[in-house]
Chains A and B, each alone.
Chain A
Amino acid sequence: MNHIEARDLVKRFGKVSALNGLSLTVPTGSVFGLVGPNGAGKTTTLRIALGLLRPDGGSIAVLSEDPWENVRVRMELGVLHEKPVYPGDMSCRRFLRHVARIYGVGDAEKNMKRVLTLVGLEAASERRIKGLSAGMLQRLGIAQALIHEPPLIITDEPASNLDPIGRTELLDLVTALHKDHGVDFLISSHILPELSKVCDRLAIIDRGKVHAEGPLDDLLRRYKLNVYKVTSSDPKLMASALLKLQYVEQASVEADGALIKIREGHEKDLYRDVGEIAEEIEVTLYGVEARVTNLEELYRKVVKERG
Chain B
Amino acid sequence: MADQNLPEMKRGYSRLRALAELLDIDVYTYLRFPAIEFLTSFQLLASLFLSSNALRLVSIGEIESPTSELNGVFIFFVNSSLGLPSFITSMLILTLVGFGVAGEIEKKLSQTILSYPVNRADVYVSKVLTAIGLPVLMFAVSELMAFIIVRPDLLARYAIPIMLAALATLGPLLMFSAILLAVAVKVKRAGISMAVGIAVWFLLAIVVPFSTFLEAPGGPGSLTRMAWLLWPIYPLREHYIAELMLVSFKEALLSLAGHFAAVIALFIGCEKYFTRRFEPT
Q: State the A residues within 8 Å of B (CB).
A: 47, 50-54, 71-75, 77, 79, 81, 83-87, 89-90, 94, 98-99, 101-107, 110-111, 114, 148-149, 151, 180-183
Contact = CB atoms under 8 A, between A and B. Distances in A.
A53 B279 contact: yes
Contacts of A180: 3
A52 B117 CA distance: 11
Contacts of B14: 104
B25 A52 contact: no
Given A52-B279, A107-B7, A85 B111 contact: yes
Given A85-B108, A89-B32, A181-B3, A104 B11 contact: yes
A86 B112 CA distance: 7
Contacts of B109: 85-87
The 7 closest A-B CB pairs, nearest first, are A182-B2, A106-B10, A104-B13, A104-B12, A74-B117, A79-B115, A181-B3
B17 interface: yes
Interface residues of B, number: 34
Contacts of B280: 52
B29 A98 contact: no
B6 A181 contact: yes
Interface in B39-86: none
Contact of A85 (B3, B22, B107, B279): B107
Contacts of B6: 114, 149, 181
B18 interface: yes
A72 B1 contact: no
Contact of A50 (B2, B13, B115, B119): B115
A157 to B, nearest CB: 13
A86 B104 CA distance: 10
A106 B9 contact: yes
A52 B114 CA distance: 7
Nearest to A101: B21
21 contacts: A52-B111, A53-B279, A71-B117, A72-B13, A75-B13, A85-B107, A85-B109, A85-B112, A86-B109, A90-B28, A98-B24, A103-B11, A103-B116, A104-B13, A104-B17, A105-B9, A106-B9, A110-B7, A151-B1, A181-B6, A182-B2
B118 interface: yes
A50 B117 CA distance: 10
Given A79-B115, A81-B112, A85-B112, A102 B21 contact: yes
Nearest to B11: A104
A87 B32 CA distance: 13
